[in-house]
Amino acid sequence: MQDLARRGAAAREIIYSAPLPSDLQEEILSAYTQLKREYGPTLTVAVRSSATAEDLPTASFAGQQDTYLNISGDAALLDACKRCFASLFTDRAIHYRIDEGFDHFKVALSIGIMKMVRSDLSTSGVMFSLDTETGFRDVVFITASWGLGENVVQGAVDPDEYYVFKPGFRRGKKVVLRRILGSKKIKMIYAEGHTHNQTRNVPTSQNEREHFCLTDSDVLTLADYAVKVEAHYSQKVGESRPMDMEWAKDGLDGQLYMVQARPETVSSQKKGQVLEEYLLKTRGQVLATGRAVGAKIASAPVRFIADVAHLSTFRPGEVLVADTTTPDWEPVMKQAAAIVTNRGGRTCHAAIIARELGIPAIVGTDNATTVLQDGAVITVSCAEGDKGFVYAGALPFEIRHTDLATLQRPATEIMINLGNPEIAFQTSMLPNDGIGLARMEFIINSAIKAHPMALLHPEKVEDKEEQTALAQLVIGFDNPADFFVQRLSEGIGTIAAAFYPKPVVVRMSDFKSNEYASLLGGRWFEPSEDNPMLGFRGASRYAHPDYSEGFALECAAMRRVREDMGLDNVILMLPFVRRVQEADAVLAKMAEFGLKRGEQGLKIYAMCEIPNNVILIDQFAKRFDGFSIGSNDLTQLTLGVDRDSQIVAFDYDERDDGVKEMIRLAVEGCARNGIHSGLCGQAPSDYPEMAEFLVQLGIDSISLNPDTVLATTLQVLEVEKLMGRTPRS
């Protein structure tokens, strides 16, 4: 490191000490004069580098050379150009060229001198025409923060994040798929009185931190730019070319500007169809959380690096922990087992480099440098969705590789149980036929956190602290209903987009009264029941006066997913439908709320989890397009066992002959009535023999937990082979 620094400084000094050729100076100043004539004497410019060894389709390293912002005046401009040329020999650029096999004297650097977009008065950021972590190509991923974009790129802030679904967008469905609020604690603005980089960071206001810095209109405009830029470069190379772009919004003219576009160089370069899965076997004490980069896991000792001067203390194979990283850190980053930073978003420098190096990183933890002890062994897990977890100690994990190119598809459809939108893109890479069960409760519990009736009627909440918490939740929304509908639709929409156009079966809410009561404000709206498992749950709520307003919000969210987002692959499913009359009442209520079976291709399924559903299956089949057998509740109601009671838990067994007979009757009843039959309970995920039993019955689909999809697929193929059934191509 010291030798590299000495040589790099000497090389830069050789270039900086040489005068710019007089004819080049004249051309630069002449063009600068023209810019000032067009934009006025107060014009400031950005002096940006672009070198031949960076931003290639197959290799990219963010920030190899230097950029200078808010430059004005002839002398300052010429000086910034000299410094920019000299930065061809930054320590990080030298090191990168050696790693990539580039000849130092066969690379070239150009300088783009551009009018500064006054994003210091507005917002700026980075966007990709795919999901950076999974390589999922059907979305535009946008990050944004207040002020100049340097903070987003360098990872100095935790930015807002937005997703737009490209297939829907191309069909005219102009809706934001998903958004995540970042903390955005600082912003970079202009600072006068300095020769170079006349910028400074200032704290953002509470209002700026609490609100998204882009409107939906802004997000959709940027998505339009991204789609067009990707299409432009894809036409040139004759194939899909995902792009990495920078943008800025001018606070004076209100316009959104594209300031850079280059090929995305990680996910787009992956070859073959080998699925690599990192699976954490056990979880431990959580020390820190942040945004996950990559989908890997690593265990190693912590090495806290405060600044560049301490890089020499880093040892290969350690976890690099820092407030943030800069391009100068590249020589040690490539030797790290993992990277953890206090600041930054998933498009910052640390994230981009970690992705390119193929190591896990967690950015934006806020407290890593204070809670992680130097030398302590930790486990960095980025394999659990958008959120990354730092665990104490070395936790066991495994790496599973599957060659998807040789994996046949069984005749029986293999679907997935999923409720967490954060892992939807990642899970969609598994071989599957769609989602057999998307649990609405997970999204309500994690993204909304409040009881829908408490949001609609906060005046009935008699606790002041709960009222304050409810008010905090809906900051930035016109009303609480909009908050609920947007959050729920974005969660379900993300899952539906990840698997589009495959079917995604979404179960309407099935909280029990005690679970609803545990939501914020919920205790003021829920009855106290001795056995909530058999109480006010599922379909019985939907048309009931005590919850019909809440059900209206659920229906509004599902209409937004299907109609506004264009995700018509969503099939709705009603849980715990006790009687035929109840089915009629709920279907009528759904139609009243704009969800009528058969209109705009809407299919409605029911859970088959009550013996009455099986006994009267011919009547229920006239009202629904399919049945999904819920083996959990069907088992407890067939055997008369409360699955929440530890005392009688030994009697709970989905493999009991009586339960299997109920399943057989349900599958045969669906076939007799020409409707879809599936099973989405826990049984086939836990017991291979149950999966075999279902295949032999001729069930249409089996829905599994993600971690059992591959193993069960292989088992089903084996059973079907013995039965003489032909796999799908």
Q: How far does Cα 272 stand from its chain's mean position?
A: 23
Q: Which pairing describes strands 256-263 and 274-280: parallel, antiparallel, or unpaired?
A: unpaired
Catalytic residue at 95? no
| Helix, strand, or coil (residue 560) | helix
**Which long-range contacts (C-beta less than 8 Å, at least 24 apart) are formed by 318-324?**
319/378, 319/380, 321/368, 321/369, 321/372, 322/369, 323/369, 324/154, 324/155, 324/156, 324/348, 324/349, 324/350
**CA atoms in the 13 A half-sphere facing the CB of 493:** 33
Q: Torsions phi, psi of 186, nearest 5?
A: -135, 165
Q: Which pairing describes strands 243-249 and 256-263: parallel, antiparallel, or unpaired?
A: antiparallel
Write down how long the chain is.
Answer: 729
- Do the beta carbons of residue 567 and residue 501 sit within 8 Å? no
| Helix, strand, or coil (residue 576) | coil
Catalytic residue chosen out of the listed positions 213, 348, 608, 680: 680
| CA atoms of 436 and 505, how far apart (whole Å) | 5
| CA atoms of 508 and 569, how far apart (whole Å) | 16
| CA atoms of 658 and 464, how far apart (whole Å) | 51
Catalytic residue at 348? no
Of 612, 606, 611, which Cα lies nearest the Cα of 628? 606
- Do the beta carbons of residue 358 and residue 340 sit within 8 Å? no
Catalytic residue chosen out of the listed positions 95, 349, 451, 676: 349
| CA atoms of 396 and 415, how far apart (whole Å) | 28
Q: Is 500 exposed, middle or buried (0-12, 13-18, 19+ CB in 10 A)?
A: buried
| HEC sequence for 53-85 | CCCCCCCCCCCCCCCEEEECCHHHHHHHHHHHH
| Strand partners of residue 145 | 124
Enter the tokens of residue 16.
């900086």
* Number of neighbours of residue 401 by Cβ within 10 angstroms: 8
Enzyme catalytic residues: 349, 680
